Amino acid sequence: KTLILRRKRERKAVPSPSPSPSPSSAQLLLPSNHAEIQTHKAVTLSKTKKKGRQHKEVIVSSIKQALEDHGSAYVFTFENMRNQKFKEFREQLKSNSRFFLGSNKVMQISLGRSVADETKPGIHKLSKFLRGDAGLLFTNLEKEEVQRTFEKYEDHDFARTGSNATEKVELKEGPLEQFTHEMEPFLRKQGMPVRLTKGVVELVSDFVVCEEGKPLSPESARILRLLGIKMAPFRLHLVCRWTPDDFEVYREGLDLSDIESS
């Protein structure tokens, strides 16, 4: 009896577990790897916006400085931009010129978009032409040399998907000796009706790669590259020129009425 009573007392002495407090709205349950998660801090949107704003301010400052350092400014447009080719072109004029590409709006703000906020008298007229694929050139070269450099420059590259074909390309039925037999499966995947005849790739019927003026499909662009046909001329065109004493427009068909009125 004594033993039984002692065990009962021991059981009574064991405290019952207290109910766990319900988490308040401020106390959210966190995963077991909470400490690890906290070490990876997310970049807030405000910081991203701040960096973007700082980058724009640097560009604006650079353009204003380029305007101070050079005697003339040009707006130019480009076709089929190729970064490496443009870098090579820019190197030709590196010693006495500076180029800017990017947001047209930022470049317009740098120059001023009206008489009221223009950086220098008349420079806001350039802003009217900063539309589409355009850029700025600041230079100390004579205008004849600038014109000559732009007019003679042209480089051809392979066209990309979506570009308009500059000519019709059609392959006639028969052997395609420029392709090795290993390429036959790849050519078939591009939609070409080909077969292997004694180890030679053969076109079983005439095949139109592309039509003039129509956008290139991914398959057409690949085939043209294999054929070595370049349909993307990289060109630069001068649009207008500003100096402290003059403003000149080069491209025909551009309307100056809104510029003169401003």
Rounded to two decimals, the pTM is 0.65
List pLDDT tens digits, range 116-130: 989 899 999 999 999
Beta strands in 50-166 (DSSP E): 72-79, 97-101, 134-139, 154-157
pLDDT band per the 50, 70, 90 thresholds, residue 11: low
Provide the pairing of β-strand 232-243 with 72-79: antiparallel
Q: Which residues 6+ apart lie within 8 Å of 184 measured at CB?
A: 194, 195, 196, 201
Q: Alpha-carbon distance 107 to 59, whole Å?
A: 8
Q: Alpha-carbon distance 152 to 174, whole Å?
A: 40
In whole angstroms, what separates CA 41 from the centre of its chain?
Answer: 29
The yes-or-no verdict on residue 208 having pLDDT over 90 is yes
Burial class (CB in 10 A: 0-12, 13-18, 19+), 18: exposed
The mean pLDDT value for 82-105 works out to 89
Tokens describing residue 124: 């806001």
List pLDDT tens digits, range 133-173: 999 999 999 999 999 999 988 888 899 999 999 999 999 99
| Cross-sheet strand order for the sheet of 194-197 | 174-175, 200-203, 194-197
The mean pLDDT value for 49-58 works out to 76
Domains and CATH numbers, the chain: 50-158+233-261 (3.30.70.1730), 169-229 (3.90.105.20)
The yes-or-no verdict on residue 193 having pLDDT over 80 is yes
Q: How high is the pLDDT of residue 38?
A: 44
The proportion of the chain whose per-residue pLDDT surpasses 90, expressed as a percent, equals 55
Per-residue b or e along 30-52, where b marks 16 or more CB atoms closer than 10 Å to that residue's CB: eeeeeeeeeeeeeeeeeeeeeee
What's the chain's average pLDDT?
81
Q: How high is the pLDDT of residue 260?
A: 45
> Which comes out higher in pLDDT, residue 258 or 157?
157
